[in-house]
């Protein structure tokens, strides 16, 4: 399998021919310096395919698909419900959460959230780059920002609540049902008491203290996802 992986949203089949966009063509030609007939990989939700360059026209790479490398992934549903944070930290968080297997991002505006918007285009670009780097096929979904009540009332999940007040420090995977596992990480100012009460009343909530120290939001996300991946492996 080639170590050059590019996300290609259109349907792919053997002998399919098309062209890359300007950015991907520049990456292949100027960064990776790929030559004609040299293989690279294209992937999307349906799987991963090997392709070769056939010609370059005005800096745009034309390609032909030669074979299928992998079929659609059987993915574990791991969601991340989080408060938006400052862009540099959030970009890092999104990248690492994608590498750690998150299948859906749900931005939540909490009482103490400072940042209340996300840059959807930037968000998606980081996800694609992280999937290309980490050998993932399936791109995570991104929900529109919502308030806590909307999230709690419209989703049925195994909710892993990262709570500093919890005395529990372990997750028992035998208690999870077949619904998605969703990690809930609060804002930099922590959850309000009213929010904490609402969360703890959720039907399938699993409260966990991930560290004795107070963690930054992006650190809490990485720690929580690492714990979940270990618990369900």
CATH number, domain 5-71: 2.40.240.20
Q: Identify the pLDDT of residue 34.
A: 87
Q: Can you spell out the DSSP letters for 158-203?
A: EEEEE-TT-------GGG--SSPEEEEE--TT---HHHHHHHHTST
For the entire predicted model, the pTM comes to 0.90
Q: Identify the pLDDT of residue 73.
A: 74
Q: Identify the pLDDT of residue 188.
A: 85
Q: Identify the pLDDT of residue 1.
A: 52
Residue ranges per structural domain of the chain = 5-71, 78-232
Residue with tokens 């939700």: 45
Q: Identify the pLDDT of residue 145.
A: 95
Q: Identify the pLDDT of residue 180.
A: 96
- CB-CB neighbours of 207 under 10 Å: 17
CB-based contacts of 194: which residues, under 8 Å, 6+ apart? Answer: 111
For the chain, which residues score pLDDT lower than 50? none
Q: pLDDT, tens digit, for every residue of 158-174?
A: 999 998 888 888 888 88
Q: How far apart are CA 204 and CA 181, in angstroms?
A: 10
Q: pLDDT, tens digit, for every residue of 80-129?
A: 999 999 999 999 999 999 999 999 999 999 999 999 989 999 999 999 99
Q: Identify the pLDDT of residue 82.
A: 97
| CATH superfamily of the 78-232 domain | SPOUT methyltransferase, trefoil knot domain (3.40.1280.10)
Q: Identify the pLDDT of residue 2.
A: 62
Q: Identify the pLDDT of residue 169.
A: 85
């Amino acid at each position: 399998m080639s170590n050059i992986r590019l996300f290609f949203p259109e349907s792919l089949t053997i002998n399919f021919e098309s062209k890359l966009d300007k950015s991907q063509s520049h990456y292949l030609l100027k960064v990776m310096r790929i030559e004609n007939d040299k293989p690279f990989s294209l992937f999307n939700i349906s799987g991963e395919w090997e392709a070769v360059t056939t010609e370059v026209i005005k800096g745009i790479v034309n390609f032909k698909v030669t074979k299928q490398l992998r079929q659609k992934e059987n993915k574990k549903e791991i969601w991340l419900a989080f408060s938006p944070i400052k862009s540099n930290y959030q970009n890092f968080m999104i990248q690492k959460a994608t590498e750690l297997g998150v299948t859906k991002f749900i931005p939540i505006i909490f009482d103490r959230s400072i940042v209340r918007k996300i840059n959807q285009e930037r968000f998606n670009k980081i996800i694609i780059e992280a999937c290309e780097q980490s050998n993932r096929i399936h791109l995570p979904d991104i929900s529109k920002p919502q308030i806590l009540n909307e999230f709690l009332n419209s989703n049925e999940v195994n909710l892993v609540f990262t709570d500093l007040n919890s005395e529990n420090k372990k997750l028992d995977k035998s208690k999870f049902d077949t619904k998605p596992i969703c990690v809930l990480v609060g804002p930099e100012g922590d959850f309000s008491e009213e929010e904490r009460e609402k969360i703890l009343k959720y039907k399938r909530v699993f409260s966990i203290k991930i560290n004795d120290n107070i963690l930054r939001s992006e650190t809490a996300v990485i720690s929580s996802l690492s714990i979940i991946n270990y618990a369900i492996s």
